[in-house]
Homo-oligomer: A and B are copies of this chain.
Amino acid sequence: MPATIRAEVITIGDEILFGQITDTNTQWISTELTNIGIRTVRKTSVGDQADVILDALREATTRADVVVITGGLGPTKDDITKRTLCQFFGVGLVRNEQALDLVTSFFLKRGRDMTDLNRGQADLPENADYVQNDWGTAPGMWFDHNDTVYISLPGVPFEMKNLMTHRMLPKLKERFEMPVILHKMIRTIGIGESFLAERIEAWEDALPPHIRLAYLPSFGQVKLRLTATGTDADELTRDLNEQVAAVLPLIEQHVYGYDGDEIEQVVVNQLKEKNLTLGVAESCTGGQVAATLTKLPGVSSVFVGGVVAYSNDIKHIALGVSSESLARFGAVSEPVVCEMAEGARVMLGADVGIATSGIAGPDGGTPDKPVGTIWIACATATGTTAKLLRLGQYREQNITLTTTYVLNLLREQLKKESSIKDFKL
């Protein structure tokens, strides 16, 4: 097995140090490095001053085989990063013709005049390998110096991610002899981390040493990430598939997808497969279920729309919930949430309807129905299923969890019903 390649990520920018902007780059970069088998050993953020950048570069050199530098390449800060790199490597700036062509064509296309400042964007440290940035005007740079690779990237996430994905990561894989690392993610829902761990304990203990397991919990979900390390990709793929097949029978009812599948994409795929349409009726989630579905491009072929029925009047008028049920059981009740789901089907003209009604908090709780009491339902042509959730006291958390759980209820119902005609209106 080749030796571990160690990386350090350096972020440059006063605005990050002072907390003015959220740095999403470093997490993304270290995830990508991990995925190709490079181990991040340190992350550092420094300000826009040459001396502190030089310090960080010198320190990183003692620890890392790869130093990834982001930021400090904007139009106004252009000089500081490039000049500091020149100082660090003991070289001068030279104009790069390829970079100049790119900047020139960028301005030509937009019919704008180019200034010397713009032309300066094509000046690179002498020892830089120019890495073409097709997503902006700041150049990507690659330095191979005394056995350490330095990568300089713009801080704009869109440009940085494209440069890393399409240029730098392939170059790194070529430059270093690295172990093959493969990942497989099993996505579960509706079971807590400790219960899951208990259920798969024997399987986990029997994992071979080259496969590691990580539990990644998030709202209402736990992702199991298997990481296999070795030298042969086919062999590792086979090993991973074997382990997934072994653990699946223990947790099958909770598994909704693999790798990048989000729950909303999974249910939209189910709906598309079965040629069914969906309507939603939301009270306590207040539009979050609809908004989560709407984020998916092309969802309009299965998602007809929804009603956010905050008031009882709208539950009655727009969803056809009976005034009697509302009066007798209250808005947060099994009968009402079922009528809402059925209303979403019938009134919106969809094949399937889902609904939420509950007390998201912080106010509105009673001894009988404390904050966190939430009903969800799913109505199809064959019947309606409701479920009671007992959640916590935090409003936003309750909304997020309810959204996930009602989508999961829909997934379960769609899985049960194998025949399309059972569903159709």
Contacts and interface: CB of A to CB of B under 8 A. Distances in A.
A280 interface: yes
Nearest to A19: B31
A233 interface: no
Contacts of A20: 31, 214, 216
A360 B299 CA distance: 12
Interface in A212-252: 214, 216
The listed residue with most B CB atoms (<10 A of its CB), out of A32, A41, A306, A399, is A306
A320 to B, nearest CB: 12
A42 B19 contact: no
A84 to B, nearest CB: 16
Interface string A363-375: 1000000000000
A297 interface: yes
Interface stretch (A87-95, A128-136, A288-296): A288-296
Interface residues of A, number: 72
Nearest to A310: B305
A298 interface: yes
A290 B318 CA distance: 16
9 residue pairs, one from A and one from B, having the closest CB atoms = A286-B294, A287-B290, A19-B31, A287-B287, A287-B291, A19-B30, A305-B310, A43-B45, A306-B308
Interface of A: 16-24, 26-34, 39-47, 52, 56, 59, 214, 216, 280, 282, 285-295, 297-300, 303-311, 313-314, 317-318, 347-349, 360-363, 395-396, 399
Given A17-B41, A305-B311, 20 more contacts: A19-B27, A19-B30, A19-B33, A20-B214, A20-B216, A21-B216, A26-B45, A41-B52, A43-B45, A44-B44, A282-B287, A287-B287, A287-B292, A290-B291, A297-B363, A304-B313, A305-B318, A306-B310, A307-B307, A307-B318
